[in-house]
Copies of this chain bind each other. A is one copy, B any other.
Amino acid sequence: MTSATSETAQPIRVALLGCGTVGTQIVRLLTEQADDLTARVGGGIELVGIAVRRPNKHRDVPAELLTTDAAALVTRPDVDVVVEVIGGIEPTRGWLLAALNAGKSVVTANKALLAEHAGELFDAAGRSGADLYFEASVAGAIPLLRPLRESLAGDRITRVMGIVNGTTNFILSAMDETGAGYSETLDEASRLGYAEADPTADVDGFDAASKAAILASLAFHTRVTAGDVHREGISAVTSADFAAARALGRTIKLLAICERVRDADGQESVAVRVHPAMIPRSHPLAGVNGAFNAVFVEAEAAGQLMFYGPGAGGAPTASAVLGDLVAVARNRVVGGRGPRESAYADLPVRPIAQASTRYHISLDVADRAGVLAAVAAEFAQHEVSIAAVRQEGRANDASLVIVTHSAPDAALRSTVDKVAGLPFVHEVVSVMRVEGEES
């Protein structure tokens, strides 16, 4: 009955790079679940080395496994698979290339590296016949890359949209709930351990942009790098933005959006962007709070799919790494190979200025006749079509909220610049993209 254990083989020997939050969990699970993993792989998994910066800081793992020489570890003849949870681009990139060139399969959680150098890594893996798996690089434990790479391999993915950064989602959820401003909420997030000491990678959208590049590459069979992603962070989101959103039954989320778009002449391209956006409170992503992640995938035949779960954390990330490790080890045991790079479509990446989205613009204006007509004329002149308007008087001035139909980024920016200069416009309170509604 138990087919897997009948074919025992030499154990698969694993080198681990990094032993922080995620690495510690990997070591724990490798030990605690050794019997299960052996049965699932068809052979044991043996940890033969752990590269760390300061060995004396890791008293909870066997001392004889520790080394500071990652470069030597990754090409050691007794290593079959390299698991990397250090992060960062250099020197990690060189170590993983050396491992792949030496025929070691690689499992990595490194989104920044994948988003910049996936092509180079895949090329090395292709030459040596090694596997390259990276499920943990996006959305923690949520199985997302394997579904994109494999389950939907017979379909045409048109859109991927989701919340892929837990820190910013925690901050935006808290701002929505408390009405507090960005800075004080970031401070609170840092105090609670939800934001790093240097939160730049998260709050400026770099982390989400890396993940968006990885998702777009897989979804559209095209090499997309982090530099191709239009990126706006959350540091400019104000409590006024949230108040404006709330007034219209919306909330604000940092979204990663990857789209396949078709020009009038039929030419397909890919648009990838990360920015805060208002979404209706009824949208499933609106209910994704705190450090959770959720991603929508739309495909022509499958329709709309959603994946939800913890987007980070030691144990969830370790779960994703171990799932990949089992796959890689099983390929070694039974003699197979995981999916390789699929970049055949090679679609052009479209700049954000050409992308069309809807906008929510909130203005403080003088409360007198002709104001709406003048503002509307500016929109008309830039060919930005207005979908909804709401004006409310307040003492001497009025709040004017305009929601547009889908409009090019550039046209909207020019319109807002012009509107801001109108004499009776006191303040542009909030300009925010709108997603998750019919355009």
Contacts and interface: CB of A to CB of B under 8 A. Distances in A.
A152 B308 CA distance: 14
Contacts of A244: none
Give the one of A36, A155, A284, A313 with max B CB within 10 A. Answer: A155
A307 B309 CA distance: 9
Contacts of A1: 119, 223, 343-344, 346
Contacts of A305: 141-143, 307-309
Interface string A336-351: 1101111111100000
Contact of A154 (B284, B325, B337): B325
B303 A315 contact: yes
Nearest to A223: B1
Contacts of A3: 122, 126, 340-344
Contact of A303 (B151, B299, B309): B309
A135 interface: yes
Interface string A305-339: 11111100101101111111111001100111101
A327 to B, nearest CB: 6
B156 A327 contact: no
A310 B306 CA distance: 10
B320 A310 contact: no
A88 interface: no
Interface in A213-272: 221, 223
A122 B2 CA distance: 11
Interface of A: 1-5, 25, 29, 33, 36-37, 39-40, 119, 122, 126, 135, 140-143, 146-147, 150-156, 221, 223, 284, 287, 299-310, 313, 315-316, 318-327, 330-331, 334-337, 339-346
A153 B342 contact: no
Given A1-B343, A308-B308, 18 more contacts: A4-B340, A4-B341, A36-B345, A40-B154, A143-B143, A146-B146, A146-B151, A153-B323, A153-B327, A154-B322, A284-B308, A299-B319, A301-B319, A303-B313, A304-B309, A304-B310, A305-B307, A306-B306
Nearest to A299: B319
A321 B147 contact: no
Contact of A321 (B154, B334, B340): B154
Given A36-B156, A152-B323, A316 B301 contact: yes
Given A1-B343, A146-B151, A306 B308 contact: yes
B310 A307 contact: no
A141 B2 contact: no
A135 B155 CA distance: 14
Given A316-B303, A337-B334, A342-B39, A146 B150 contact: yes
A29 to B, nearest CB: 6
